[in-house]
């Protein structure tokens, strides 16, 4: 894992003091709310329905036990004993006081954490593959590149007042576990003629106008990576729309200019920048790599004792193949039946921290599906791990099933939401668990957003649900056929929306169509792609 | 004659230069490109700073207007001019607030004429926010990454 | 009736204008009639409230009921965490939201 040096520490410490001063000026009336808002947002502080909300960055989703413990302690000391893990691998606290915010940031800084640029029209937390450094199928560990980008993007003097927010994702495998092409910039680390480089996809995103990012450059040499990113951003900063908030994301610029014209402008800017000394010294990347080196893996059992069916089910569902065959990556589900997706109590965070220290070389990851990963668990330790997870209500065997849905906080917490998301998630997981259908459905990605901003990734759900406001009443649109993975696609709306009860029934209906039509090993998504929307529509509306 | 657009020298609250302040008004980018003798120009957010590149030798003052602090195009304009070798005064004018000063300075601004005068103490603190920096710009500061790998100062 | 609501600047708590001050209980909310904009500007300038806005509400026999569900959620708390609502002893209060 990356460790701060004195420079990094000084930067976050300076940021804490800068924010403390900004908050003081706000409370003294020297800053208006309009002036203060972008400043607090760039420190992760929102004003939500019930209180301030603080969003803490977990860079590329990686943290250690001490950091997870610090998050637990903040939840208990300053919040109401819990936090919410988000689709951008961050953590949100829902009940923060402005007068405490600087102290919380100071507590975070003590464990090399921060809330820098977790909101605002700037470059946000860099996201990555939650199995980075552990997955058997990756080319290299993407995190040194993500860390290089994190430092470059932190307090970037030119790109702090962009037309709109800007999200970057880095992966290094053909399999996409991070929704890479639904980011403003998606970077895939690739190999070409024996050389490692970066493939750039620009202009993806969800929100009200979902777009899949087109590839604009298939290979950027590593010693030009930051310069190329800077060129992409400069073209956006100069020409991204500022007249309409809803058309301000880079996806609209790329779409309106056309991929080729946008690329031409980037290449022109890039050519100009190459001799401007923008790129950090090449030694910096080499400095970063050893931080992410493999821990010392030991030999051990390669199979588990399957005599306990509950344990066997959990192993089948919630573990992922590791590059060392005596290990797996274990997924800790934050989706207990009828629970709130992504929420964890302070006590649960401490359990996860301890288990990471005990079983996973002191490392945890946050998944964009709002779960937690222990990346390097010895197969021989799995039963002991599962037993302790289960005791803490963290052992739900449901990864990638319908019960493992993504849900945004929705109208229960969020000032932007039009409808509640969490109650739907709770009722659907309860219903499918009770009927035993979850297992039969296999991999089925359900994603629920409480408004058009799509924090719940509904466009990318095999089944997506979007909450809307219909004359003051919550209403839900159903969509089918999305995917955030390497087979990326955008879901299509089935037709008229439903009430809360109606949409839950509708989800059941479409899963029944799938089960009736399924051929061989087809997943829901495969069947949908083969048979199209018509049979589902017929079952829903006729 | 083009209308006098510029801020006057006494509206400049902070200046990090020793040369004489230009004491006449600025012209628009369009006017500057048409006029062979203009030495001071004002860039609006929608202007292309690169149109000025052929005329940098004769320019002594470039004002970059920020009608709203939230519109960040002026930061790119400033860097583009500095990257092209412009050494004259680069003045941020308009809705310039305390918390944008340090980033503006890094992008090459060396004079500031805010619409509303800023608290001196708060502003000095803001200019000094970052002992070190992660990004290379043309302000001459060594980056953290360069320092890590042997660069002095 | 027209009601003023916002959040407390320091704590972020949801607050309602009572006619003389700010209360966390929606039932204390006063009808501001046509004076909303004026009170709002004054109170915000004095930093006694943050991001205030004017809403429609109805006075019922059970108290003041904001017209929009969002403000009813604000008045009570998250419907999925009855333990964290303003009145955790009375989970039925959540039915009022819908």
Distance from the B38 Cα atom to the nearest Cα atom in chain A, whole angstroms: 25
Chains B and C touch (3+ CB pairs under 8 A): no
Q: Is C68 close to A472, i.e. CB distance below 8 A?
A: yes
Which among A52, A97, A411 has CB closest to C73?
A: A411
Q: What is the pLDDT of residues A258-282, one digit of tens each?
A: 999 999 999 999 999 999 999 999 9
Q: Is A25 close to B70, i.e. CB distance below 8 A?
A: no
Contacts of A381 (CB under 8 A, 6+ apart): A359
User: How far lies A321's CA from each of A143, A144, A167, A208, A401, in Å?
Assistant: 19, 22, 28, 36, 18
Q: Is C74 close to A99, i.e. CB distance below 8 A?
A: no
CATH topology of domain B9-148: Rossmann fold (3.40.50)
| C-beta neighbour count of A150 within 10 angstroms | 24
Q: What is the pLDDT of residues A460-503, one digit of tens each?
A: 999 999 999 999 899 999 999 999 999 999 999 999 999 999 99
Give me the pLDDT at residue B1, please: 39
Give me the pLDDT at residue C95, please: 84
Q: Would you tell me which residues 116-145 of chain A have a C-beta closer than 8 angstroms to some C-beta of chain C? A: none
Which among C9, C14, C67 has CB closest to A50?
A: C14
What are the residue ranges in chain B where pLDDT is below 70?
Answer: 1-5, 151-153
DSSP state of B47: S
Q: Is B149 close to A151, i.e. CB distance below 8 A?
A: no
Q: Is A242 close to B73, i.e. CB distance below 8 A?
A: yes
Residue of C nearest to A32 (CA): C45
CATH 3.90.480.20 for domain A6-110: yes
Q: Is B148 close to A121, i.e. CB distance below 8 A?
A: no
Which among A157, A238, A276 has CB closest to B106?
A: A157
* Residue ranges of domains in chain A: 6-110, 134-289, 309-391, 402-541
Using an 8 Å Cβ cutoff, are B91 and B12 in contact? yes
pLDDT at C92 over 90: no
Give me the pLDDT at residue A33, please: 96
Chains that touch A (3 or more CB pairs under 8 A): B, C
Give me the pLDDT at residue C37, please: 96
Q: Is B75 close to A161, i.e. CB distance below 8 A?
A: yes
Q: Would you tell me which residues 22-41 of chain A have a C-beta closer than 8 angstroms to some C-beta of chain C? A: 26-27, 29, 33
Give me the pLDDT at residue A472, please: 86
User: How far lies A35's CA from each of A31, A216, A303, A515, B9, in Å?
Assistant: 6, 36, 58, 54, 26
| C-beta neighbour count of A470 within 10 angstroms | 13
Give me the pLDDT at residue B5, please: 66
Confidence of residue C62 (pLDDT cuts 50, 70, 90): confident
User: How far lies B62's CA from each of A322, B20, B72, in Å?
Assistant: 58, 14, 17
Structure tokens at A286: 């080499």
Q: Name every chain A residue with its beta carbon within 8 A of the beta carbon of B45.
A: 242
Rounded to two decimals, the pTM is 0.97
DSSP state of A322: B
Q: Name every chain B residue with its beta carbon within 8 A of the beta carbon of A18.
A: 99, 129
What are the residue ranges in chain A where pLDDT is below 70?
Answer: none
| C-beta neighbour count of B46 within 10 angstroms | 11
Give me the pLDDT at residue B2, please: 44
Is residue A372 classed as helix, strand or coil in its secondary structure?
strand
Give me the pLDDT at residue B4, please: 56
Rounded to whole angstroms, how far apart are CA atoms A249 and A268?
21
Looking at domain A402-541, its CATH class is alpha beta
Distance from the B138 Cα atom to the nearest Cα atom in chain A, whole angstroms: 8
What would the DSSP string read from start to end of C51-88?
Answer: EEEEEEEEEETTEEEESSHHHHHHHH--TT-GGGSS-T
Architecture of domain A134-289: 2-Layer Sandwich (3.30)
Rounded to whole angstroms, how far apart are CA atoms C37 and B68?
25
Using an 8 Å Cβ cutoff, are A422 and A409 in contact? yes
Structure tokens at A80: 């109401």
Chains that touch B (3 or more CB pairs under 8 A): A
Rounded to whole angstroms, how far apart are CA atoms A473 and A453?
18
Give me the pLDDT at residue B153, please: 47
Q: Name every chain C residue with its beta carbon within 8 A of the beta carbon of A27.
A: 9-10, 47
Rounded to whole angstroms, how far apart are CA atoms A253 and A270?
18
What would the DSSP string read from start to end of A449-507?
Answer: ESSTT-TT-GGG-SEEEEEEEETTEEEEEEEE--B-STT-B--EE-SS-B-HHHHHHHH
| Contact pairs from chain A to chain C, CB under 8 Å | 68
Rounded to whole angstroms, how far apart are CA atoms A27 and A20?
11
Using an 8 Å Cβ cutoff, are A251 and A184 in contact? yes
Distance from the C7 Cα atom to the nearest Cα atom in chain A, whole angstroms: 7
User: How far lies A184's CA from each of A232, A233, A308, C74, in Å?
Assistant: 10, 10, 45, 33
Residue of C nearest to A23 (CA): C10
Looking at domain A309-391, its CATH class is alpha beta
Rounded to whole angstroms, how far apart are CA atoms A15 and A21?
10
**Percent of residues in chain C assigned helix, strand, coil, to nearest 5:** 30, 30, 40
ipTM: 0.96
Give me the pLDDT at residue B152, please: 58
Distance from the B122 Cα atom to the nearest Cα atom in chain A, whole angstroms: 9
Element (H, E) at A219: strand A215-221
DSSP state of A89: S
Which among A10, A35, A283 has CB closest to B97?
A: A35
């Amino acid at each position: 894992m990356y460790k701060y040096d004195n420079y990094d520490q000084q930067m976050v410490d300076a940021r804490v003091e800068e924010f403390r001063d900004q908050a003081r000026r706000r409370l003294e009336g020297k800053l208006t709310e309009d002036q203060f808002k972008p400043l607090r947002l760039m420190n992760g502080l929102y004003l939500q329905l019930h209180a301030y909300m603080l969003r803490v960055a977990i860079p590329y989703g990686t943290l250690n036990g001490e950091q997870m413990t610090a998050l637990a302690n903040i939840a208990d000391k300053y919040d109401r004993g819990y936090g919410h893990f988000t689709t951008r691998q961050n953590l949100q606290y829902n009940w923060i006081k402005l007068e405490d915010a600087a102290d919380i940031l100071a507590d975070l800084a003590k464990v090399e954490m921060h809330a820098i640029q977790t909101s605002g029209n700037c470059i946000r937390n860099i996201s990555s593959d939650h199995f980075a450094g552990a997955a058997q199928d990756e080319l290299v560990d993407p995190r040194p590149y993500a860390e290089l980008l994190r430092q470059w993007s932190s307090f970037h003097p030119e790109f702090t007042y962009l037309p709109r927010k800007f999200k970057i994702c880095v992966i290094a495998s053909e399999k996409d576990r991070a929704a890479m092409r639904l980011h403003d910039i998606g970077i895939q680390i690739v190999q070409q003629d024996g050389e490692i480089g970066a493939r750039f996809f620009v202009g993806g995103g969800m929100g009200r106008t979902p777009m899949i990012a087109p590839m604009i450059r298939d290979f950027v040499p590593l010693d030009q990576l930051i310069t190329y990113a800077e060129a992409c951003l400069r073209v956006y900063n100069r020409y991204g729309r500022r007249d309409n908030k809803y058309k301000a994301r880079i996806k609209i610029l790329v779409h309106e200019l056309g991929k080729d014209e946008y690329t031409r402008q980037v290449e022109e800017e890039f050519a100009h920048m190459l001799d401007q000394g923008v790129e950090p010294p090449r030694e910096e990347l080499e400095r970063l790599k050893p931080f992410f080196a493999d821990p010392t893996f030991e030999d051990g059992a390669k199979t588990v004792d399957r005599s306990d069916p509950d344990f066997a089910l959990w192993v089948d569902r919630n573990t992922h193949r590791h590059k060392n065959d005596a290990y797996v990556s274990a997924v800790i589900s934050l989706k207990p039946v009828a629970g709130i997706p992504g929420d964890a109590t302070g006590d649960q965070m401490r359990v996860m921290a301890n288990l990471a220290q005990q079983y996973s070389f002191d490392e945890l990851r946050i998944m964009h599906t709002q779960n937690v990963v222990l990346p390097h668990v010895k197969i021989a330790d799995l039963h002991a791990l599962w037993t302790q997870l289960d005791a803490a209500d963290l052992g739900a065997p449901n990864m990638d099933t319908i019960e493992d849905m993504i849900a945004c906080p929705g109208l229960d917490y969020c000032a932007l939401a039009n409808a509640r998301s969490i109650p739907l998630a709770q009722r659907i997981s309860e219903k499918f668990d009770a009927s035993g259908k979850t297992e039969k459905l296999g991999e089925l990605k359900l994603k629920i957003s409480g408004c058009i901003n799509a924090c719940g990734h509904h466009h990318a759900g095999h089944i997506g649900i979007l909450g809307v406001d219909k004359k003051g009443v919550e209403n839900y649109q159903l969509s089918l056929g999305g995917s955030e993975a390497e087979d990326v696609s955008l879901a299509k709306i089935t037709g008229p929306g439903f009430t809360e009860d109606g949409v839950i029934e509708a989800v059941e209906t479409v899963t029944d169509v799938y089960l009736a039509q399924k051929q061989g090993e087809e997943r829901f998504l495969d069947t949908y792609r083969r048979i199209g929307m018509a049979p589902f529509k017929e079952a829903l509306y006729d | 004659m083009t209308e006098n657009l510029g801020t006057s020298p006494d509206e400049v609250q902070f200046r990090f230069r020793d040369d004489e302040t230009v004491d006449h008004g600025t012209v628009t980018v369009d006017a500057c490109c048409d006029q062979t003798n203009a030495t001071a120009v004002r860039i609006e957010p929608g202007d292309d700073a690169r149109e000025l590149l052929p005329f940098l030798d004769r320019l002594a003052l470039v004002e970059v207007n920020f009608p709203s602090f939230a519109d960040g195009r002026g930061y790119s304009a400033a860097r583009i001019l500095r990257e092209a070798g412009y050494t004259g005064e680069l003045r941020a004018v308009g809705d310039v607030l305390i918390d944008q000063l340090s980033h503006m300075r890094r992008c090459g601004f060396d004079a500031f004429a805010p619409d509303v005068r800023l608290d001196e103490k708060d502003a000095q603190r803001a200019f000094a926010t970052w002992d070190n920096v992660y990004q290379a710009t043309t302000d001459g500061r060594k980056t953290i990454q360069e320092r890590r790998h042997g660069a002095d100062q | 009736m027209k009601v003023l609501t916002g959040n407390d600047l320091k704590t972020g708590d949801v607050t309602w204008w009572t006619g003389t001050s700010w209360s966390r209980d929606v039932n204390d909310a006063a009808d501001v009639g046509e004076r909303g904009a004026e009170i709002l500007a004054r109170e915000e300038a004095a930093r006694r409230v943050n991001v205030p806005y004017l809403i429609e509400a109805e006075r019922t026999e059970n108290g003041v009921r904001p017209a929009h569900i969002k403000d009813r959620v604000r008045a009570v708390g998250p419907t999925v965490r009855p333990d964290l609502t303003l009145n955790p002893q009375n989970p039925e209060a959540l039915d009022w939201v819908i």
